[in-house]
Amino acid sequence: MSDTNGKMTPEIALQQLKDGNERFQVNKRTDRDLLKEVKTTSTGQQPIATILHCIDSRVSAELIFDLGVGDVFSARVAGNIVNPDLLGSMEFANNLSTSRLIVVLGHTGCGAVGGTIVHAGTDNLTTLLQKIRPAIGATTEPSDGASRVGSNKAFVDRVAATNVRLTIENIRNQSGTLKNLENLPDSDDKRIIIVGGMYDISDGKVHWDHWEDIKFD
């Protein structure tokens, strides 16, 4: 995946992901020779983006963005949260390699978010879910306590969207490297952008614009 002008920018990378998701939604994915891509990338890689998304089996970045071998760095963890290891991985991808875009991708029907709401957890899972918990308090709607439960799918999805926003804030606050890259001038070839999105598991669409305000039902 590359730009026809030979220079990849964060905006071009984002548009390529948007175009890929549109193809995915209408089942017109690119006809790929994956084995040829394996051979082509065997001597090096030039991913255009880093996608932090959930381990949910229905949410595979390579599929929902119609990607091939070597197109993106794919970071997966329940609830698309960040920790030092993930931040270090993103610093490698965006500072030492070719990624020019970080996407924090949440999704509807997130089990990790739902589990956090109902206080689920075992051993290490409990520690992970604690990183999602701030998103519950930061989600203001619905205000009725009886509706702020794990069985309310709309509330779970709103918390998942809030969690994306908080994860982006955590990336900026906990990685000076990534924050500095995002603040570089437009003319700098190492400049990145960090964006959020919500994937709807019911129709395959990634919502980008105003994703945090979307009222999922």
Buried b (16+ CB within 10 A) or exposed e, 162-198: bbbbbbbebbeeebeebeebbeeeeeeeebbbbbbbb
Query: Can you list the pairs that 24-32 forms with residues at least 24 positions away whose Cβ atoms lie under 8 Å?
Result: 24/63, 24/64, 24/65, 24/66, 24/204, 25/203, 25/204, 25/205, 29/66, 30/66, 30/68, 32/68
Please write the tens of the pLDDT for every residue from 72-84: 999 999 999 999 9
Decide: pTM greater than 0.85.
yes
Looking at residues 180-196, what average pLDDT do you find?
97
Looking at residues 135-144, what average pLDDT do you find?
93
- Indicate the pLDDT class of residue 209, thresholds 50, 70 and 90: confident
Q: Which residues pair with 105 in a beta bridge?
A: 53, 197
High-pLDDT (> 70) share of the chain, %: 94
Residue spans of the domains in the chain: they are 10-211
Given this model, what pLDDT does residue 17 score? 98
Please write the tens of the pLDDT for every residue from 190-202: 999 999 999 999 9
10-211 CATH choice from 3.30.70.790, 3.40.1050.10, 3.40.50.620, 3.40.190.10: 3.40.1050.10
